[in-house]
Amino acid sequence: MKYRGRMRTSTLNDRQIMPTDFRRWAEARRQFAQGKDRQKIDMLKESIEANGLEEPILLCIEPRWRDIYVSDGHHRAIAVLELELPRFPFHWHWIRWASVHIEHEPFPYELLEH
> Which domain CATH number covers 86?
3.90.1530.10
Domain that holds residue 38: 5-113
pLDDT of residue 28: 96
- Amino acid type, 84: E
> Total domain count for the chain?
1
Q: Are 67 and 59 in contact (CB under 8 A)?
A: no
Half-sphere exposure of 102 (CA within 13 A, CB side): 14
Where are the extended beta strands (E) located within the chain? 5-8, 17-19, 57-61, 68-72, 87-94
- φ/ψ of residue 87, rounded to 5: -145, 160
Summarize the confidence of residues 81-102 as an average pLDDT.
Answer: 92
Whether 30 has a pLDDT exceeding 80, the answer reads: yes
Burial class (CB in 10 A: 0-12, 13-18, 19+), 56: buried
Asked if residue 114 has pLDDT above 70, the reply is no
Give the integer Cα–Cα distance in Å for 66 and 80: 24
Q: Taking 80 as the threshold, does the pLDDT of residue 1 lie above it?
A: yes
Calculate mean pLDDT across residues 12-40: 96
